[in-house]
Amino acid sequence: MSAPTVLHRPSPARLRAFPVRRLPSWTTAVVIVAALAAYPLVFADSAAHNIGILALTFGIAATGWNLLGGYAGQVSFGHALYFGTGAYTTALLVRDGWSPWLAIALSLPLAALFAAAVGWPCFRLRHHYYSIATIAVAEIVFILVTNLPGLGQANGWELPVVEPSLANLQFSLLDKRPYYYVALGFFCVAALAVWLFLRGRAGNYVRAIRDDQVAAAAVGIDVHRYKLAAAALSGAITALAGGFYVMYVLFVDPPSGLGLDLSVSFTLMAVLGGVGRFWGPLLGAWVLVFVQDLTRQEFSGSGRSVDLLLYGALIVLVSITEPGGLLAILQRLWAPVARRLGRASRTETDPEPVESAEVKA
């Protein structure tokens, strides 16, 4: 009888990297950032600036969610916990006289630690069980903060108004463009962090885990480790949004910093824009904030939750037409135009055919 075959587990360092998909080129990134930078110059009114600030802020949070929920396939409904970690940590330190920049920076590793602590037991669960567990953890924290006197309880905290300056991260409300450009800078930092993560081995592994966790584990990928890595970075990016948000509104309480509706909003932004696509959460955030502002203008107090109805209708419509989200629809519409432009450019650059001269006898 022949000896049984022994399958050796290969070293992750020798695994073939999975192909990187849907990562943006530098040209695309430059064009999008340039368009975002020009936005407050084209639209000069304060209301438009406020829309842009909120869209970029929530775009940061949705980008953080997309790393874990879109690329790693771990759908979380508890990301408000990390948003609130950034908001409450920044508020606490700023009230004690710390620099807001340092306060925001310190909130990032704290949120990453919380994300790893939540993920350590919850990643043992799969699919919707994991999603339910994240809701439970976030709601427990929400109740605790609501009842803790040291964190302002249900009344929340107001931040002191100081001299407007970049160092204090407070500016005049008559001109909100500084807030907008700071938010844009934070978004660029968040996008760069996600891009660097996805283009490396860890990014390839989390996409493999999303596609087939059992197969990924079978070829030697440490599934739990890379889930925790994605969760930690996702939590830190979401905390960055929370820290800036509290410096913009100068107030935080449990509903505005830890509410379940925040977690749902981050998820819907990514789904509408294009889950698992790099620029999808940013596009979804702009659409959601614009819809919210439009309904408040048109319906005022009588239009409460109309924005959610419209947003839900958009998601249903997009899901029926293109599950890849609005970004996939735009890419589908742009593809034939790009092909025509490519053919036109090749035609213009091709040399004219040269007629051969007649050979005289």
Max mean pLDDT among 42-51, 176-185, 271-280 falls in: 176-185
- What's the confidence (pLDDT) of residue 15? 45
Average pLDDT for 158-187: 92
List alpha helices for the chain, DSSP H. Answer: 26-42, 46-66, 80-95, 100-122, 128-147, 177-199, 201-211, 213-218, 223-249, 254-258, 260-273, 280-299, 306-321, 326-349
Does the structure show a pLDDT above 70 at 158?
Answer: yes
Per DSSP, the three-state class of 252 is strand
Alpha-carbon torsion 21, 266, 243, 165, what sign? positive
Mean pLDDT of 31-60: 93
Predicted confidence at residue 296, as pLDDT, reads 75
Checking if the pLDDT of 155 tops 80, the result is: yes
Measured between alpha carbons, how far is 170 from 162 in angstroms, rounded to an integer? 7
- Spatial neighbors of 108 by CB under 8 A, at least 6 apart, are 86, 236, 239, 240, 243
* Rg over CA atoms, the chain: 24
Residues with Cβ within 8 Å of 107's Cβ and at least 6 positions away in sequence, in order, are 85, 86, 89, 90, 239, 240, 242, 243
Total count of domains within the chain: 1
Q: In whole numbers, what is the pLDDT of the chain averaged over residues?
A: 84
Domain assignment present for residue 155? The answer is yes
- On the CB side of 106, CA atoms within 13 Å amount to 13
359 falls within a domain: no
348 domain residue, yes or no: no
Closest of 115, 357, 73 to residue 234, by C-alpha: 115
Q: Is residue 2 part of a domain?
A: no
Q: Which long-range contacts (CB under 8 A, 24 or more apart) does 14-21 make?
A: 15/219, 15/220, 15/221, 17/201, 17/204, 18/204, 18/205, 18/207, 18/208, 19/204, 20/198, 20/199, 20/203, 20/204, 21/207
Three-state DSSP state, 157? strand
**pLDDT value at residue 353:** 45
Q: Name the more confident of 104 and 294.
A: 104
Could you list the residue range(s) of the whole structural domain that residue 47 is in? 26-342
Phi–psi pair at 157, nearest 5 degrees: -125, 140
User: What pLDDT score was predicted for residue 309?
Assistant: 76
Contacts of 210 (CB under 8 A, 6+ apart): 71, 72, 73, 276
Round to whole Å and give the CA distance between 51 and 57. Answer: 10
In a domain, 48, yes or no: yes
Of these ranges, 4-13, 102-111, 119-128, 264-273, the one predicted with the greatest mean pLDDT is 102-111
Q: CA 27 to CA 326: how far, in whole Å?
A: 21
Q: Is residue 332 part of a domain?
A: yes
Residue 252's beta-bridge partner residues?
157
Residue 345: predicted pLDDT: 53
- Give Dmax (Cα) for the chain: 107
Specify if 252 maps to a domain: yes
Tokens coding 281? 């959460």
Query: Residue 16 falls within a domain, yes or no?
Result: no
